[in-house]
Amino acid sequence: MRLLGVLGGMSWTSTAEYYRLLNHGVAARLGGLHSARLLLHSVDFGPVAAMQHDGDWRGTADVLVEAAQGLQRGGAEGLLLATNTMHKVADEVEAASGIPLLHIADATAARVLADGRSTVGLLATAFTMEQDFYVGRLREHGLDVLVPDEQERADVHRIIYDELCLDVVRDESRERYREVMASLAQRGAEAVILGCTEIGLLVGDGDSPVPLYDTAAVHAEQAVDWMLSG
């Protein structure tokens, strides 16, 4: 089994879910007491989140490059960035580490296309919904990507940072996400991508009129395939 380096902590709530998914996936494939071979570097999200909101992406890249290089020195053969938003600096992290990075948008696009869908809604942080690093990558794969309107994007973003990243799950926030997903479906979305790794902690298939793609689950499955293909 290949040794996977995980860049986590952004936030710890979704990283904990990644750890469960990766180990569950390996155990399901190999059986018995098998578990995933992982090196985890969990960053302090407070300074990283502040840099995100200040637009200091160079600073966030520096944090993750240092962490990724440490994982590489520790023997990691590949990297998993356990967050959608920080894929904004994925190319810099991969280049500086010298080992392959499993890109969450590529894994998600492949799954959507394999299911025969081409038009998707996207729920994520404002950075991920509004900047091209993620939406553009999905579109390069041939997907038509719809994002919520301005007020909906603000609500989705606020709930992620003020609640889900703090391990807070509220019924009223679930209802707001249901409204946003219904709106995306009415606009023509054949499915909705949960493009922030915390969102799966709040909503599931029963909350949406169209199928959901939980990027953390899709990403973890891709990582299990990679670990076991060596």
- Whether 83 sits among the annotated catalytic residues: the reply is yes
Q: Are 14 and 216 in contact (CB under 8 A)?
A: yes
Q: Are 201 and 15 in contact (CB under 8 A)?
A: no
Nearest to 195 by CA among 133, 105, 93, 115: 105
- Whether 128 sits among the annotated catalytic residues: the reply is no
Q: Residues 13, 15, 60, 83: which is the catalytic one?
A: 83
Q: Is the dihedral of CA 168, 210, 225, 65 positive or negative?
A: negative
Buried b vs exposed e over 18-33: b needs ≥16 C-beta within 10 Å? Answer: bbebbbebbeeeeeee
Residue 40 backbone class (left: φ over 0; alpha: ψ -120 to 50; beta: rest): beta
Cβ-based neighbour number of residue 206 at 10 Å: 7
Judged on CB neighbours under 10 Å (0-12, 13-18, 19+), 57 is: middle
Q: Residues 13, 196, 197, 215: which is the catalytic one?
A: 196
Pure H helices in the chain: 12-30, 45-54, 57-73, 90-97, 104-114, 126-130, 132-140, 150-162, 171-186, 215-227
Residues that are catalytic? 83, 196
